[in-house]
Amino acid sequence: MKKFFWIVGLFAWMQTLRAADSVYVQNPQIPILIDRTDNVLFRIRIPDATKGDVLNRLTIRFGNEDKLSEVKAVRLFYAGTEAPTKGRSHFAPVTYVSSHNIRNTRSANPSYSVRQDEVTTVANTLTLKTRQPMVKGINYFWVSVEMDRNTSLLSKLTPMVTEAVINDKPAVIAGEQAAVRRMGIGVRHAGDDGSAAYRIPGLVTTNEGTLLGVYDVRYNNSADLQEHVDVGLSRSTDKGQTWEPMRMAMSFGETDGLPSGQNGVGDPSILVDERTNTVWVVAAWTHGMGNARAWTNSMPGMTPDETAQLMMVKSTDDGRTWSEPINITSQVKDPSWCFLLQGPGRGITMRDGTLVFPIQFIDSVRVPHAGIMYSKDRGKTWHIHQPARTNTTESQVVEVEPGVLMLNMRDNRGGSRAVSITRDLGKSWTEHSSNRGALPESICMASLISVKAKDNVTGKDLLLFSNPNTTKGRHHITIKASLDGGVTWLPAHQVLLDEEEGWGYSCLSMIDRETVGIFYESSVAHMTFQAVKIKDLIR
Is 244 a residue of the active site? no
Q: Are 177 and 96 in contact (CB under 8 A)?
A: no
Which of 242, 247, 245 lies closest to 232, judged by CA? 247
* CB atoms closer than 10 angstroms to residue 232: 25
* CB atoms closer than 10 angstroms to residue 130: 19
Torsion of CA 293, 295, 301, 306, to 10 degrees: 10
Which of 522, 420, 538, 424 lies closest to 489, judged by CA? 538
In angstroms, what CA-CA distances link 485 with 332, 372, 481?
Answer: 30, 20, 10
Q: Are 134 and 82 in contact (CB under 8 A)?
A: no
Amino acid at 369: H
Pairwise CA distance, residues 299 & 288, whole Å:
12
Pairwise CA distance, residues 88 & 95, whole Å:
17
In angstroms, what CA-CA distances link 82 with 56, 86, 187, 392, 483?
Answer: 21, 7, 33, 43, 47
Q: Are 432 and 421 in contact (CB under 8 A)?
A: yes
Catalytic residue, from 227, 394, 399, 441: name it.
394
Pairwise CA distance, residues 533 & 180, whole Å:
14
Residue 168, phi-psi category: left (phi > 0), alpha (psi -120 to 50), beta (remainder): left
Pairwise CA distance, residues 394 & 446, whole Å:
8
Any idea which residues carry the catalytic annotation?
394
